[in-house]
Amino acid sequence: MADLNDPNVQWWRNAVVYQIYVRSFADSNGDGIGDLPGITARLPHLADLGVDALWITPFYTSPQHDHGYDVADYRDVDPLFGSLSDADALIARAHELDLRVVVDLVPNHTSDEHEWFKAALAAGPGSPERARYMFRDSPDGPPNNWSSVFGGPAWTQVEDGQWYLHLFDSTQPDLDWRNPEVPAMFEDVLRFWLDRGVDGFRVDVAHGLFKEESLRDQVVTDGDAPASSAHEMVERTITDEPMWDQPEVHGVYREWHRILDEAGPDRMAVAEAWTQTIESMTAFIRPDELDQTFNFAWLLADWSAESFAEVITDTLAAVEGVGAAPTWVLSNHDVVRHVTRYGGGEQGLARARAATLTMLALPGSSYLYQGEELGLEQVDVAPEDRQDPSYLRTGEVGRDGCRVPIPWGGAEAPYAFGPGAAQPWIPQPADWASLTVEAQSAAADSTLAFYKDALRIRKDFAWTAGDVVEMVDAGPDVLAFKRGPLTVVLNCGTTPAELPEGEVLLASGPVDGKLLPDTAAWLR
C-alpha cells in the first residue's frame, strides 16, 4: 500500500498543477503559435513560480479544428508544435526541474482526419471500419434529437446517406466504445506515453465514451431543443442524458488503472467529467479507477461565503467516501477567466486573488490555468479573429477570449510570446505591457509575486496540515476555516471584517487590522 503522505509517490494528492494551453504559452519559431520547444524554454518560469506539475493540452497530430482536441494520430506530435523528440526533451527538462508532466488524452472522439475515420468513409455502410464509430441509417433525418455541445445537431450525414454521431464538432466523430478495437487502441496509446515518461493523463470528456445503446431521444422538459453541453443542461435543469455518464465507462477506467499501476505507483489520471451530481463525480475516482476529477463546483460557485462553504463541505465529504484527494480549479481553457467572472477590473482581480488564496489553502490539489498568475482577464476577441468551433457553429462568442497568448515581456504585442515581431494567432490587447511576466517580476506587489508567495508558503503545509477542514462561524459574509495550524478567512461582504487571532502569513490584498472586502488571508 502506497504511503498517501509521501509526496514522491501519490504526488498529485497535494500538487499544484499548471495548465498549459500549447498554442498560447510560448512560441519558439516565430510562426505565432505556441509549441513544445517554447514550453521547454519557459519551464524555469514554472519552476520559479513554484508549481509541482504541468498539464499540457493536446499537441498530437491534428487538423486543429478544435485546437488539438481533434486528434488524427495519438502517437505523434503535430509539426505545428514540434516533434516526438521535442516532447521527449520537454519531459526530460521538466523532470530535471522537479516538475511532473500530465498529458491530455482524448478518447471520446477522433479527428475526421484520423486513419480510422478516413477508412470508415472509404469502406462504406456495414463495414468493420464504420463499426469503430457511431454510424447509423436514418432516412428521415438525424437518428435522434441530440445536440452537439458546440451547438446544432449532433449528427452529420455522409454522401451514401448514413449519419455519424459527433457530440462536439462535425470534425470530431464519436468512437464506438462497445467495439473492442477502440479500448485496445487507447490502451496502446496510454502505454506509448507512459513509456516516454509522462507522469499522468488528463482524460478529456471522461464522462462520455459510452452512449445509451438504444440511442434514444433525450427527454427535454422545457419544450426547447435538446442540450448536450453540461452548462446548458444545468441551466435548463435537463437531467436526462442518454449521451453521457453511462455505467459501462467505469470498466474502461478500471482497466486504465491497471495500466497506470504497471508503470509505477506515481502515475495518475485526472478526469474531466461534467457530471450532474457529486455522487456520479465520485464514481470516477473510486480506488480502482482514476485518481482525481476536476471539481467544477468550485469554479461554478457564486461569489458568496455560503456558496464557497457549501462546495468545500460537500466536496470533502464526497471524496472522503472514496479515499481520493479533492481538487480545486477556478479557470481553464473552456471557461471565462475568473477575474472577469468576478466582475473584472480592480474588484474582479481582488476577488480572483482572494478566491485563489482560499483554494490554495484547501487539502488536495489545485489546478491553475496559464495567465491567471498574471491576473489576466478574458479578452474581447474581435469576431474576425475568433476560431473556436463553437463560435463557428453558433455565432456565440465562444472560448477564444481565455486563450489569448501569454505576455512574457516587452512593451507591445507580441510581448515576447515569440521571437521578433511575429504576431500571435489571436491578437493580444494593446494594454498588456504592465501585465507581462517581465514587468510583474520586477514589482513586489504584482499578482505574479502574490502567486509565488502563496505557492512558497503553501509548500510548508501542503503535505502536513492534514485533510480535516473545520468551518468556523465568522458571520454571514465571511468564509472562515481551520486546517491544521492554518486559519483561512475570506471576506465576500462589503464591509471590513474582524481578522481572527494569529500571525498573518499572507493576504490577497492590503490588510489593515481588519480584513477588507474581497480579500482573503492565511493566518497561523
Which residue number, 164 or 522, has a Cβ lying nearer to ligand GLC? 164
Q: Which does 462 bind (CB under 5 to 8 A by kind): ligand GLC, Ca ion, none?
A: none
Rounded-to-integer distance, Cα 292 and Cα 363, Å: 13
- Please count the CA atoms within 13 angstroms of the CA of 272 that sit on its side-chain side: 19
Rounded-to-integer distance, Cα 101 and Cα 196, Å: 11
CB within 8 Å of 242: residues ≥ 6 apart: 146, 211, 212, 214, 215, 216, 217, 218
Q: Which does 29 bind (CB under 5 to 8 A by kind): ligand GLC, Ca ion, none?
A: Ca ion
Q: Report if residue 27 touches Ca ion, rule: CB under 5 A.
A: yes
Between the two ends of the chain, the Cα-to-Cα distance in Å is 33
Q: Which does 260 bind (CB under 5 to 8 A by kind): Ca ion, ligand GLC, none?
A: none
**DSSP SS3 for 76:** strand
Q: Report if residue 106 touches ligand GLC, rule: CB under 6 A.
A: yes
- Inter-residue contact 43 to 98 (CB < 8 Å): no
Q: How far apart are CB 311 and ligand GLC at their closest, in Å?
A: 21
Which residue number, 14 or 390, has a Cβ lying nearer to ligand GLC? 390
Would you call 204 a catalytic residue per the annotation?
Answer: yes
Would you call 272 a catalytic residue per the annotation?
Answer: no
Q: Which of 112, 174, 199, 204 binds ligand GLC (CB under 6 A)?
A: 204
Q: Which does 241 bind (CB under 5 to 8 A by kind): Ca ion, ligand GLC, none?
A: none
- Inter-residue contact 498 to 515 (CB < 8 Å): yes
Q: Which of 27, 35, 52, 66 binds ligand GLC (CB under 6 A)?
A: 66
Name residue, grid cell 514550453: 39
Rounded-to-integer distance, Cα 277 and Cα 323, Å: 18
Which residue number, 31 or 314, has a Cβ lying nearer to Ca ion? 31
By 3-state DSSP, what share of the chain in percent is helix, strand and coil, each rounded to 5?
30, 15, 50
Q: Which residue among 204, 241, 334, 400 is the active-site one?
A: 204
Chain-centre distance for alpha carbon 470? 28
Q: Which of 17, 165, 194, 205 binds ligand GLC (CB under 6 A)?
A: 205
Rounded-to-integer distance, Cα 524 and Cα 522, Å: 7
Q: How far apart are CB 33 and Ca ion at their closest, in Å?
A: 4
Within residues 256-295, the interface with ligand GLC by CB under 6 A covers 272
Q: Report if residue 198 touches ligand GLC, rule: CB under 6 A.
A: no
Amino acid at 458: R
Q: Which of 21, 74, 168, 450 binds ligand GLC (CB under 6 A)?
A: 168
Name residue, grid cell 513560480: 49
Within residues 303-362, the interface with ligand GLC by CB under 6 A covers 333-334
> Given the rule CB under 6 A, which residues bind ligand GLC?
66, 69, 106, 168, 204-205, 272, 333-334
